[in-house]
Structure 1
Amino acid sequence: MKHKILLFLLFSSTLLCAQAFRNYSNEFLTIGVDAAALGMSKSVVATTHDVNSIYWNPAGLVGIEDYQGSLMHASYFAGIANYNHAAFAMPIDGNSVLGVSVIRFGVDDILNTTELIDSQGNIDFNRISLFSAADYAFNVAYARKLIFNDLKIGVNAKIVRRIIGDFASSWGFGFDVGLQFDRNDWKFGLMARDITTTFNSWAINEEEFNKIKDAIPGENQELPQTTEITKPKLQLGVARNWEIGRYFNLLTEVDINMRFAKTNDIFSSDFVSLDPAAGFQLDYDKIVYVRAGIGNFQYITEFDNSKSLSMQPNFGVGFKYNGIQIDYALTNIGSVGNALYSNIFSVTIDYSFFRR
């Protein structure tokens, strides 16, 4: 109960301060999907080739030969916040693929205590109600091979819906574009997120807003700005596959994540910030997988104003048999540092096996 009251204040403060952070909206879309990819610290932009490519790089959808579906669930803050993903993709012809997916990140059953005390100063617990704060992303992706079969392109159109109980809601839209190029055992990938910038337009319930605007003492807040902008981001990836003996294969990838804003990434300037990530996947005969990765290098400012470098290691395992792949990742999907790690599970089904 205390946690949910705290989260209510958090979301209220976020709403009140939206104007100050409008250039960093839709941060839930940076969490990622698929336990296999998260186990490699998200270093998959060059190698993704299944239904989860809708998120990581839509160009990878070209690797699908039949219907594919995927489900993922993750939770953190002791299960208070939940992150769920579902995706489906299918070939249109020999050169192109269509995919759709949905993401939900939300906190449910938050206590609304804005009417706990009536105008006479009396406390009435019956006046407490529950609400949800949830973010949704609906994606439609299309991919096809270009003139050369080694070069693939994909486009992802997304609609973003964000709801904070009866207090406020927003609609947003944007586009992602991805490329992949294969040559022998080398793979290259480029993913441009929010290529046109993604806009969110908020509708604020002024009556409900007036109940929470004085939640922070001494802050007589006005209505926040109702438009948020998500700036473009780029991901560059280089990968190579190594055959180790008869049954083992090692896949390695290094990515560079670029944000066009000054951040606390390992390299940061007024123009661009760079955050490297690396991951590997060792498999036995494409049946059993072991994964590890490291990424999210951030400079943390300590209480004495000194800076320390933090990083996020990830680990994962997977099993694939008869067209069904089950993956697990041990990772921190919310933040870095001393936060608790999260257990993430996903399952991918490839219908091509059942046609044999």
Structure 2
Amino acid sequence: MHLCIKNLQLRNYITVLFYFISITMFGQAVRKYSNEFLNIGVDAAALGMSNAVTSHTADVNSGYWNPAGLLKLEDNQMALMHSSYFANIANYDYAAFAKPIDNNSAFGVSLIRFAVDDILNTTQLIDEQGNINYDRISLFSTADYALTFSYARDLPVQGLNYGINAKVIRRIIGDFAASWGFGFDAGIQFETDNNWQFGLMARDITTTFNAWAIDEDEFKKVQDAVEGQNQELPETTEITIPKLQLGVSKLFNFHYDYSLLAAANLNVRFEENNDILSSSFVSINPAVGFEFAYIDMVYLRGGVGNFQNELQIDNSEQLSFQPSFGVGFKYNGIQIDYAFTDIGDQSVALYSNVFSLKLDFSIFR
């Protein structure tokens, strides 16, 4: 019994410390890595190509990757995706719908939820007299939501399209803190007559703003449970700085039945970090991917990206990267895709199995 109490106390301190760190991190005045859940990616087909899809994305998922691609829709489409990360601790769910408005424009809407559910709140396990009451344990979730509205339209130049996103972000840490955020993305795509495609996606072009509301009473419970913690509330505003993604791809056809799509991306961030190309002004991270298709029905995908110069314990640098692999099957307007990848690199994070479904409404006609 004594050992059980000790374990619960230790778990209590660890849980409380997690609360404190989360609220403190999410409440910094200017935080460059805010809303990182929006950088994970959607659609197993894209994840299987290491996200190198900025130039050729052309379906309902374009609302996330490059809204200009929505203009290539021929009918209404719907997409669903689920994946689990960190040994199934965190769940990532995505749903999207898009439709052509007319021959010159299209519209889409999508919803993302990234969350850790059923976290034990043991801050009240032990009362002021030192008594343990298991009924005082409760559950809570920390969840991030993003609702995105997308619009695409063509331009007077043949093969040139543009798109914009308006994002509403909601982030919740149980009863401790919650925030609302707003931001915009913009993208363009250009396709030549010989199957070359180019794309540019500007994320958070106006910077994405988040405002946090912290429950002072709940926050004080966290601080009281961890001795020696700062009693001051953290700042309650944060911004997400803009990022650019430049892409190029080309489709090769072989003997009518076979095709190969080769694509590359340059992911640009305006900061100095561990990207393979980094300066005090800008950092660039490349990604490459391919998709081999048979009769536009069976797909084999692969890619590599997220190249990082990781600092080792002996102060040396080691290049890390994130490989990915995927397969897909499409028949009569229904497409099922699978990707085997992670959100870290080839050696650190646990790999995840990602599944997605895409439905073309033409099957009902």
Q: Which category describes the TM-score, using the shorter chain as reference length?
A: over 0.9
Partners of 1:92 and 1:120 in 2: CA distance: 65
SS at match of 1:79: coil
- Specify the alignment match of 2:356 in structure 1: 346
Deviations 1:153-200 (A, max 9, x none): 000000000000000000000000000000021000000000000000
- Specify the alignment match of 1:108 in structure 2: 117
1:63 to 72, 82, 107: 72
Change (3 A) 1:221 1:238: farther
Deviations 1:74-126 (A, max 9, x none): 00222221000000001111110000000000011000011111111112111
Structure 1 stretch displaced more, 75-84 or 319-328: 75-84
Matched, 1:246 2:249: no
Change (3 A) 1:9 1:72: farther
- Specify the alignment match of 1:14 in structure 2: 22
Deviations 1:200-229 (A, max 9, x none): 000000000111135555432421110010
Partners of 1:7 and 1:188 in 2: CA distance: 47
For structure 1, the residue ranges without an aligned partner over 5 or more in a row are none
- Specify the alignment match of 2:323 in structure 1: 313
TM-score of the superposed pair, with normalisation by structure 1: 0.95
SS at match of 1:213: helix
Partners of 2:64 and 2:28 in 1: CA distance: 28
Partners of 1:178 and 1:74 in 2: CA distance: 26
Give, in angstroms, the shift of residue 269 of structure 1. Answer: 1.4
Partners of 2:268 and 2:354 in 1: CA distance: 25
Q: % of aligned pairs identical?
A: 62
Partners of 1:249 and 1:233 in 2: CA distance: 32
Partners of 1:34 and 1:12 in 2: CA distance: 33
Matched, 1:195 2:220: no
Matched, 1:304 2:314: yes
Matched, 1:86 2:95: yes
In angstroms, what is the RMSD of aligned CA positions? 1.9
Report the residue type matching 2:202 in the other structure: A
Report the residue type matching 1:275 in the other structure: N
Give, in angstroms, the shift of residue 9 of structure 1. Answer: 3.8
- Specify the alignment match of 2:298 in structure 1: 288
Partners of 1:334 and 1:70 in 2: CA distance: 25
Q: Is the 8 A contact 1:213 1:222 kept in 2?
A: no
Report the residue type matching 2:215 in the other structure: N
Equivalent positions of 1:164-313 (< 5 A) are 164-183=173-192, 184-213=194-223, 217-313=227-323
Matched, 1:139 2:183: no
TM-score of the superposed pair, with normalisation by structure 2: 0.93
Matched, 1:129 2:138: yes
Q: Is the 8 A contact 2:110 2:148 kept in 1?
A: yes
Partners of 1:24 and 1:237 in 2: CA distance: 23
Q: Is the 8 A contact 2:117 2:140 kept in 1?
A: yes
Give, in angstroms, the shift of residue 305 of structure 1. Answer: 2.0
Structure 1 stretch displaced more, 120-129 or 28-37: 120-129
SS at match of 2:109: strand
SS at match of 1:92: strand
Change (3 A) 1:9 1:344: farther
Q: Is the 8 A contact 1:214 1:220 kept in 2?
A: no
Q: Is the 8 A contact 2:87 2:350 kept in 1?
A: no
SS at match of 2:69: helix
Report the residue type matching 1:31 in the other structure: I
Structure 1 stretch displaced more, 148-157 or 135-144: 148-157
Change (3 A) 1:320 1:81: same
Change (3 A) 1:201 1:70: same
Structure 1 stretch displaced more, 147-156 or 226-235: 147-156
Aligned length: 355
Q: Is the 8 A contact 2:15 2:122 kept in 1?
A: no
Moved beyond 4 Å, runs of 4+: 4-8, 214-217
